[in-house]
Every structure is written in C-alpha cells, then in structure tokens.
Amino acid sequence: MAGRGDRAADRGASSSQSRRRTSQSKGATGQRNGRVARKEPEVRDEEEEEEEDGDESMSEDSSEEDSEEEEDDILLRTSLDLSSKPLPPLEQLSSTLAKFKNLSSLNISAMQPSKAAGNPRGLVHLRWLGRAVKVAGEGGFGSRLTQLNMSENGSFGREEAKDEAGKWDGLQRLTKLMVLNASACELRHFPPAPILLPLTSLTALVLSNNALTSLPTLPHLPHLNTLILSKNRLRALPASLASSAPALKKLAASHNALDDAPTALPDLSACAHLRQVRLHCNPSLRRLPRHLSTWGRGVGQGARGTGIELLDLSECGLDGWASVEDALLNAPTAGTAGEEQGGRRERGLTNLSLKGNGLAELEDYRQRLLGHFRTLKILDNESVVERRKKKRRNGTSAAEEGRSDRDRVEDKRNDRARDEELEAKKKRAWDAIDEGLGASSSSAQSASTKTVEGQGDDEGNRGTRKRQVDASAVAGIVHVKKKRKQHEAGSDKAEARNSPAKTADPFAQVGLGLGGAWD
C-alpha cells in the first residue's frame, strides 16, 4: 500500500511541474504578441485520471490510519468512567475492556438497567469482569488496575444469589487492586474470604451505606490501612480484626448498632499504626473497653506506636466518668506535643470528641480532660490551642484553663455586671462635674459682672474682663466633653476585647480521596 502511494505521489509531483512550465511558456508567448493568452480548454488524459485515483486512495488510506490512531489513543487510557450509563451487553463489555491494558482506575458506579442490552435488573454480578481479565491474558487488562469504584449499584446487593461467592466471582482476578469502593450497594453480606484473599495489595476497603449486620473473619490483608464500615447495622466488629489488618491506620464504624457487650469492640492494640478511629453515633455503646487505652501502640517488641491521634465518640451514650475512665483517664499519655521521647517524636491524642454524651455536661469535664491529655489540640470540634493562647495573653494560669463552660458563662456575666456598675459610677461622677462646673461658671460670671459694673465708666475694661470669664467657662465645658468621649471610646474597646471571638471550624475531612464515604 505504501509503495503504491509513493509512486502516485511522484507521478503527481512531476505532472504538476510539467503543467506549470507549460502555462508559464504560454503566458510569455502571449505577452510577446501584445495580447492576453486565451485559456485553453483542459484536456484530461488517462494518466492524469490514474493520478487522481491514486490521490483518492491515499486520502482514504490516511483517514483509515487516523481513525486507527484515535482508537489506539483511547485504548491507552489509564482511567475509564462508565458511571450512570446504561449497562451494555456483558459479552460486549468484557471484550471491550480486554483491550484496555493500561487501565489503572475503573468507575462503574450507579450503572443503569438496560432491557435492550439484556440487563433489565442492572449490575447483579461481576463475572464479566473476570472474563475481561481472562481474554486479555497476562499483562493485559487488570494487570495494572488499582482502583475499582462500584458504589451505588443497589441491584447488586438486592439480588438474591444461591452462591454469594458467585456474585463476586471475577473480582479475585484483580490481584493489583488497592482501593475497592462498594458503598451504597445494599449489601447484606460481606465479600467472601475466597474473593478477598488474593487481593493482597488492597489498602482501602469502603463498605459504608449498606445493610451489613455482621462481619465474618476477614482474610489476612497485610496492606489494608483504611476500613470504612459507617452507616450499616453492625452490632460488633470481628475479634480477629487486628490480626487480619495489622497495618490498619483509619477505622470508621460510625452510625451502626455497636452495643456495650465486651466483644463489641475488639482489641486493636496490635495495630501499631492505628491513628484515626471514628465510632460516633452508636448510642448503645454506653461503655468503652479498657484495652482502647492501648490502641495504636503495638504489643511486645512492636510496641513502638504513638497511639490514637483522632478519636470520635460523639453520641455514644457515655453518661459518666465510669463509662470512659478505664479507657481514657487511666490510659498512658504522651508528653507535650513535639517532645522527643526515646529518640522519636511523641504525638498522643490530639483530637477528641465526646459531645452529645451526658459526660460532656459535667462541671469538671473540660478540666479533667485537658489536665490529662497535654497533647490535645481539639476538643469537641473546638480548638484548645487558641483558647490556651488567649488565656495566657490575658494572664490566666494553667490551672484555670480547664474550667467548665458553666463557670465561664458565670464569669462573663459577673464581668459584665461589674462593667455596667463602673460605667454608672463614672456617669454619675461626670454629671456631678458638669453640675459643679456650671454652678462655678455661673457664680464666677455673676461676680465678674458685678466687679466690672462697679469699676465705673471704663467700658473697655468691662468688656475685656467679661470676655475672659466667658472664654474660661467655654474651655471648661469643652474639656469635660473631650474627657467623656475618651471614656466612651475606652469602654467600646474593652467591650470588643471581652466579646467572644469567632473561630473557624478546625476540622477538615480526611479520607483517601473518598469524599463523603469517610463519614
């Protein structure tokens, strides 16, 4: 094909050059004869027609090559988003995906049912995914796939299957998978162990917004650092969670039905990297296990962890100190933030939330917690660091930093009453000064007038002295008004200093780029 195109191109170039030379010679002849050369009708020979045929074939070949290049560019993509689209025929979907050998991210969330494609119920299984990996062969599709988002496919969880593993069949072929998001799929069963066992590279598993009531024993997932189980119906977490996920850093099990049974929360002390735990909105929890005090610190020779840094226990039915004393107040604490302990930086608990519990209404609530956790920076979504800085600027001692909210409100009320009383006293004093000044001015003015009138006929002296008395009275009144304005300006500044400062929300959602799934 290429040789034919080259020959056609050479013939076209030579023919155009000969026609150009002929037209130039005719133009020169016409100019010499003094008239414009008349345009001759174009005569097309068979050779020129063959050249045009060759040009057309070349253009067709080039358009085919362009379309092939565009298709090659599409197949070189590393991410593919099929979310919210009608589910195509599964055989066609498998054969098409098999061509994407460089794909690292696949989004099949919220796939829509398609009767025309033979999928009236939507996404109900993943067998087509396994077929795509099998068709592509070694090094093809799936060999680089690290992220799979299959969230918001409610039909996947609703569809009853005789063999639950058969529904997930195909997922185990994605051995490089690192992030699996199966949130909001109405799942009633956890992915079977034989499906998850080959996924040794898995680092994040998102199963929030489902209908899970229990969790089986998880397979060993050595790199799993993020487990999100929020908004399910779980009454307990697996007892073997620490051994199944030793690298766990973030655990979210909020908005569940965790109760106060001793086995509801497993011992996660062996997870030496555990730093963030969110258990809020479990109103039946009511009591924390003692081993929570050592979560994230490791055990034995691996006990080098610094412990949990973020702990959210809001609205967990914790009514008194007895419900948290063993887990929090008797826990080993870290030194001052940034302090070096044994050659490593000591961190400790920096963010704690217990709001929505009866415990947070106790008078000594803040005082005990701030006195125990010296590394604490945020308590109940409020920055502790800013408050401490403000109190130190105002000369408040460290012992007063933990006073309860009720005491602070009472102090502000007393301060306001004292300020009002002082303001009233000053006002009465200024009024008395005004009255005294007015009286003295009047008496001075009358006495001066009498003196001036008794001096006889010297009108010039009488007018001069009267003007001096009037100027003195006016100067006194101006001085009083100036002092009053200065006092009012000072009162406004004091009120501005005593008014509570508005602080920005110190929180920022952290969750591996998973959006609202972390909550």
Residue 314 DSSP one-character state:
T
Residue 514: the pLDDT is 38
pLDDT, tens digit, 9 for 90 and up, residues 485-496: 666 666 555 554
> DSSP string covering 254-310, please?
-SS---S-TTSS---TT-TT--EEE--S-TT--S--GGGGGTTS-SGGG------SE
Among the residue ranges 40-54, 102-116, 125-139, 244-258, the one predicted with the least confidence is 40-54
CA dihedral 400, 404, 410, 411 (to 10 degrees): 20
Mean pLDDT of 121-126: 94
Cα dihedral sign for 336, 337, 338, 341? positive
Residue found by looking up tokens 């591996």 in the block: 512
Number of domains in the chain: 3
pLDDT, tens digit, 9 for 90 and up, residues 468-516: 545 555 555 555 556 666 666 665 555 545 444 443 333 233 333 334 4
172: containing domain: 72-211
Q: Tell me the percentage of the chain whose pLDDT exceeds 90.
A: 50
Assign 454 a pLDDT band (cuts: 50, 70, 90): very low
Residue 43: the pLDDT is 47
Residues 205 and 81 in one domain: yes
**CB of 202 within 8 A of CB of 245?**
no
Residue 362 DSSP one-character state:
S
CATH of the domain at 180: 3.80.10.10
Query: Does residue 57 lie within any of the structural domains?
Result: no
**446 vs 514: which has the higher pLDDT:** 446
Residue 57: the pLDDT is 55
Residues 254 and 306 in one domain: yes
Residues 234 and 356 in one domain: yes
Residue 37 DSSP one-character state:
P
Nearest-angstrom CA–CA distance, 452 and 457? 10
Nearest-angstrom CA–CA distance, 229 and 211? 10
Residues 385 and 276 in one domain: yes
pLDDT, tens digit, 9 for 90 and up, residues 235-271: 999 999 999 999 999 999 999 999 999 999 999 999 9
Nearest-angstrom CA–CA distance, 144 and 177? 8
Residues 411 and 331 in one domain: no
Contacts of 119 (CB under 8 A, 6+ apart): 87, 88, 89, 90, 113
Q: Which CA distances in Å does 64 have to 4, 6, 33, 117, 345? A: 16, 17, 52, 29, 63
Residues 149 and 238 in one domain: no
- Among the listed residues 224, 255, 259, 254, the one whose alpha carbon sits nearest the alpha carbon of residue 240: 224
Assign 175 a pLDDT band (cuts: 50, 70, 90): very high
Nearest-angstrom CA–CA distance, 334 and 377? 13
Nearest-angstrom CA–CA distance, 133 and 255? 37
Query: Does residue 170 lie within any of the structural domains?
Result: yes
Among the residue ranges 174-178, 205-209, 339-343, 388-392, the one predicted with the least confidence is 339-343
Residues 232 and 366 in one domain: yes
Q: Tell me the percentage of the chain whose pLDDT exceeds 70.
A: 61
Query: Does residue 352 lie within any of the structural domains?
Result: yes
**435 vs 155: which has the higher pLDDT:** 155
